[in-house]
Amino acid sequence: MEASPEHLLAWFRLRSVVGIGNLLFRRLIQHFDNPEAVFASSDDALLAVEGVSPRLVAAIRRQPARNEHDERELARTAQMGFQIVTQSDPSYPALLLEIPDPPPYLYVYGRLDNTNRKIAVVGSRNATGYGITTTKRLCMSLAALGLSVVSGMAIGIDTAAHEGALSGKGTTVAVLGSGLEKIYPAKNRKLFHRISENGAVVSEFPLATEPEAHNFPVRNRIISGM
């Protein structure tokens, strides 16, 4: 069942509280089950969660119930044909929840499938012809074995990994270091759409986030976590 806009806005709202990072967000969801319950809980109940201080409780109380920026972001997500998959959604990658700081939610273009086994294949952007050919063959074989190939859609080995999986009639997942509206590299726009038809393109970053250098090490934990 698709989450309501009000429910998704509660996830945005909790993520926006100053002082709540991914690790603490996960603890709060494990304790209270959903963001709505976090905001409705007593101060004592909040303070019972490891890492929650009186200052953070005050920040939670101050967080506005409505935020026009979040509402526009959610509307734009739907308009673009993307979706928000939260940690409580059955399609959220189960293994990703095992890392210390999983993203509270993912922007998804396509469909995540938790029934497929996944394998990460990444490598150099300045790959040799031999490296690209070998990667495509390897990922074609992995796809034929029922494995879903996870990579970063960068030029070089990452692109070859996705293309190999698609050639093998398999599924593949691309994890971006930018928002879904900022396809990077731009030359992979067609690949971006092909992947969405046979897997998913995902990002933890807001739609308009540029592909800045520091985003890529951050997104790598999602590739390995999946």
Instruction: Encode 23-64 in three state secondary structure.
Output: HHHHHHHHHHCCHHHHHHCCHHHHHCCCCCCHHHHHHHHHCC
The predicted structure's pLDDT at residue 148: 97
The predicted structure's pLDDT at residue 49: 98
Answer yes or no: is pLDDT of 1 > 70.
no
Answer yes or no: is pLDDT of 74 > 90.
yes
**What six digits make up the tokens of 187?**
């030359």
pTM assigned to the model:
0.95
Q: Are 226 and 149 in contact (CB under 8 A)?
A: no
What is the band of 225 on the pLDDT scale with cuts at 50, 70, 90?
Answer: very high
The predicted structure's pLDDT at residue 133: 98
Nearest partner of 138 among 162, 156, 118, judged by Cα: 162
Answer yes or no: is pLDDT of 2 > 80.
no
Residue range 8-56, pLDDT digits in tens: 999 999 999 999 999 999 999 999 999 999 999 999 999 999 999 999 9
What is the band of 3 on the pLDDT scale with cuts at 50, 70, 90?
Answer: confident
The predicted structure's pLDDT at residue 116: 80
Give the separation between CA 166 and CA 150, rounded to whole angstroms. Answer: 12
The predicted structure's pLDDT at residue 47: 98
Residue range 151-192, pLDDT digits in tens: 999 999 999 999 999 999 999 999 999 999 999 999 999 999
The predicted structure's pLDDT at residue 84: 98
The predicted structure's pLDDT at residue 224: 96
Residue range 113-144, pLDDT digits in tens: 887 899 999 999 999 999 999 999 999 999 99
Contacts of residue 74, defined as CB under 8 A and 6 or more positions apart, other chains included, come to 5, 8, 9, 12, 84
DSSP letter assigned to residue 224: H
